[in-house]
Amino acid sequence: MRTPPVSVGEILELSPDGLVAGGEAICRVDGFPLFVPRIYRGDVAQIEVVEVKRGFGRGQVIELVSASPQRRRDPCPVAGECGGCDWAELRLDAQLDAKKEIVLDSLRRIGKFDPGALPSIRLHASPLNYRLRSRLHADPSDPGSVGFYARKSNDVVPISERCEVIGPALLGNLDALRNVARGGAVIDAFESSHAFSYAARPDDDTKGVPVALEVGSRTYTLSTTTFFQVNRHLLGRLIALVSAHAAESAGRELALDLYGGVGFFALPLAERFARVVTVEALGEAHIYAGLNCRATPNVAVVGAPVEEFLEAFEEQADFALADPPRAGLTPRALDLLARAAPPKICYLSCDPVTFSRDAAELGRRGYALRSLDLLDLFPNTHHVETLSLLALEQ
């Protein structure tokens, strides 16, 4: 491998090629990739090289020479330091275009998919002030101040009155939260279209308190520390898309809801299938899934790792929904899911790299990628959520 053409401390004037998974921009120096945060296609900037490895380097912006037309005017005043969002300076339409490019690039590079053979990616934009749940932190050096952590730091950046991430009810109750912050280090706030609630706890206390969230006609009970989809604007859209895929199943006897959490998808799937089995390994989420599904007799709630459940699974499912963590399906889970051979697998992913890897593996087991939706669950951030349908080819 040739010697890198840059060195630490060197300052270069560069313009990026685009944004990549993880949120940084990629600049190239004689073909050598340099990853730089907080710069966008169309920008020209003075960049200092801060790290050099054999195959890539990292840089930081010293001065913006000329701004991209994709930049927004007057974003949140603390966007540059707050860890709540990292793309706040980028226009929302440009954010969505960049996320589509990231998904396509991951499918091409990681999954080795032919871009021309992929289904069209349907884009689902979201309004701002989208967070259904927000975890805020008290500033120990400034009693009464509350905010998000700074990037790559546990320093607290006070919430701005113009924050575009948290919901309007939280913004309207900042004074109350500041008072609560004096007695607690962490505040978990929740808001749906129907209600707003919050709870404070010490930062070393992982025990949450129950809250109720309404999504359409359904009410879910969960803990302040239990995972739940975060974008209050697109929760209904997620359910509608999954339900539409489920409705296309030839059989309607049995659906699997893998990594099912508190039962968010199990309840709408129960309206489509005679039986639903929802599987969740995390104890707290499993308990709340039981509570949420207790009045739905055709839902069985299983508290076990997905691999353990699939190892013992001997039935034929008509449909499977997988919503794994960011790391994606484990090799064992993927093997067992392919062995179970549901005709359709709906895969919800929060990481385009691991999704591309898993989609390619499922492709080698006979599944074709039939549809792909990109939901902007996290505006003003680089995070990408995709919902795909993979069908077993006959």
266 and 285 share one domain: yes
- CATH number for the domain spanning 319: value is 3.40.50.150
Do 196 and 254 fall within a single domain?
A: no
Q: Are 248 and 299 in a shared domain?
A: yes
Answer with the one of 190, 223, 256 that is the final residue of a domain: 223
pLDDT tens across 107-160, in order? Answer: 999 999 999 999 999 999 999 999 988 889 888 888 778 899 998 888 899 999
Residue 137 lies in a domain: yes
Separation between Cα atoms, residue 32 and residue 200, nearest integer Å: 48
339 and 196 both lie in a single domain: no
71 is a domain residue: no
- Cα separation, 230 vs 279, whole angstroms: 20
Tell me: do 60 and 167 sit in the same domain.
no
Q: How far apart are CA 42 and CA 90, in angstroms?
A: 11
- pLDDT at residue 199, as a whole number: 80
Distance CA 331, CA 315 (A): 21
193/305 same-domain check: no
Residues of the chain with pLDDT under 70: 1, 183-184, 193, 203-207
- Which residues, 6 or more positions from 169, have their beta carbon under 8 angstroms from its beta carbon? 191, 196
pLDDT for 206 equals: 65
Q: How many domains does the structure of the chain reveal?
A: 3
pLDDT for 49-66, tens place per residue?
999 998 999 999 999 999
pTM of the model: 0.93
What pLDDT, on the 0 to 100 scale, is given for residue 203?
65
Domain that holds residue 257: 92-127+231-392
Q: Same domain, yes or no, for 200 and 325?
A: no
Domain co-membership, 32 together with 103? no
Could you tell me which residues come within 8 angstroms of residue 244 by beta carbon, excluding any fewer than 6 positions away?
none
